[in-house]
Amino acid sequence: MQKVLVTGADGFIGSHLVEALIRQGVSVRAFVLYNSFNSWGWLDKCAKDVKGSFEVFSGDIRDPHGVKEAMKGCDAVLHLAALIAIPYSYHSPDTYVDTNIKGTLNVLQAARDLGVKRVIHTSTSEVYGTAQFVPISELHPLQGQSPYSATKIAADQMAYSFFASFNLPVTIIRPFNTYGPRQSARAVIPTIITQIANGQRQIKLGATSPTRDFNYVKDTVDGFIAALNSSEGLGEVVNIGSNFEISIGDTVQLIAEVMNVDIELISDEVRYRPANSEVERLWADNSKAEKTYQWKPNYAGRDGFKKGLIETAQWFENSENLLNYKSDIYNL
């Protein structure tokens, strides 16, 4: 692909993806959310070796005209732009419908009109809800246990419908819980690390019994690029996960171990999801990704997870990075 549009390029995964694509010689147009501060999100703090090497388009994924303008001249689009915070979706669900569903429709329609050669749409493991069987394959039933996951299910189906109806070359990549440098403090791993890095030893958390399949951001990015560079998987869903399950409670203790501190967990009621909305168990079957794209996680198993946590903690402990986070409040 000569030129690629990345939506959500100003975010956590998107910014890492932009950097990785440029290092592979791909011409990148980064779609960032327009704002009066002229902020490009994490791209303002991108690695020095890629700074100035990408084009920026400021717009809003909810606007079809801007999306189409941004996509002109691009061979492919990697669509990551979305609202993803689950607690925020409880009190502002309309914005999730507009951004996640209508925004995806805008991307798909523009790609169809412009004859884009490849669309990689980003799903989420949250669409599976609490696991009915493990490890979770792509055949697992979908359960919208939050407004966020419901809108992502709808967006995924919209993406598939454009493949089925119009033969648009769409692949749906379904990452499990990605973590790493630059992740928002609304996610559990940055919540823990930033509290510790700021000197707190009584760590405020919600539920600690749910399990997750954490995937280091470098592995997630590699999965996107593998899908982009392959002619396989059109019209299909592909899990990107580590195939390693660990509870939130055990994750906290592993973080404390790598940061060499003793901590005490404090239950914070505001951080709990409604009982029927909590996803109790996630564990990825990643065999399809390996078969389809020859993708395997480099940060696999407990040792790989620990390695990723060390790299993540080191980034957050840098004072310049830590200043971007508010660890003393609950981040939606």
All domains of the chain in start order, with CATH: 3-178+215-240 (3.40.50.720), 181-212+244-282+300-322 (3.90.25.10)
Cα angle value 77/79/85 (rounded, 5°): 170
CA–CA separation, 42 and 135 (whole Å): 33
Radius of gyration of the chain (CA): 19
- The 3-state DSSP class for residue 3 equals strand
If phi over 0 gives left and psi between -120 and 50 gives alpha, with beta otherwise, what is residue 306? alpha
Q: Dmax over Cα atoms in the chain, in whole Å?
A: 57
Which structure tokens are listed for 20?
A: 């990785």
Which structure tokens are listed for 259?
A: 């940061």
Beta-carbon contacts of residue 73 (< 8 Å; ≥ 6 apart): 3
pLDDT at site 329:
85
pLDDT < 50 positions in the chain: none
Query: Other C-beta atoms within 10 Å of 267: how many?
Result: 11
E strand or H helix at 239, and its extent? strand 237-240
Is the CB of residue 127 less than 8 Å from the CB of residue 152? yes
Task: Please say whether the dihedral angle defined by the alpha carbons of residues 253, 182, 95 and 114, taken in this order, is positive or negative.
Answer: negative
Q: What does the chain come to in residues?
A: 332
Question: Reduced to 3 DSSP states, what percent helix, strand and coil does the chain have, rounded to the nearest 5?
Answer: 45, 15, 40
Nearest to 156 by CA among 126, 133, 134, 130: 126
Nearest to 188 by CA among 91, 238, 129, 254: 254
pLDDT at site 331:
83
pLDDT at site 102:
98
